[in-house]
Amino acid sequence: MAQVLIVEDDNFLVDLLQRKFSRSRVKPLVAMDAEHARLILNREKVDVVLLDVVLPGTDGVTLLKEFKANDKLKSIPVLIISNLGQTEEVRKGLAAGAVEYLIKANVTPAEILEKVMKLIKK
């Protein structure tokens, strides 16, 4: 079974995504902050990461740069999901290695699931 790591501190969005992924036979793993995300990535095989930019402690873009500098993790596709939609924020996220930058207000959980499924099948 494929696994997706959701690095997000919004409980409502996490709940929606967990239910959506579970119904699609994708196991959702959840980290509410960067530290927990690091722990999960060190012990689980993750197929895709959904990453918020604004997190407690280390921000998502800094965490993404860490992933991409790690030989074990750099090949995992990362989708950023954020409320920060300014051009500069999007540019920073993509430059750090995200495969796509999604604005939360402009995307539904179903659309996020569809994008994750495409990445899993690659």
Q: Dihedral of CA 76/3/52/32: which sign?
A: negative
Q: How far apart are CA 62 and CA 55, in angstroms?
A: 10
Assign domain 2-121 to its CATH superfamily: Response regulator (3.40.50.2300)
Domain residue extents for the chain: 2-121
Overall pTM surpassing 0.75 (yes/no): yes
Q: What is the pLDDT along the chain (122 residues), one digit of tens a residue?
A: 999 999 999 999 999 999 999 999 899 999 999 999 999 999 999 999 999 999 998 999 999 999 999 999 999 999 999 998 899 999 999 999 999 999 999 999 999 999 999 999 86
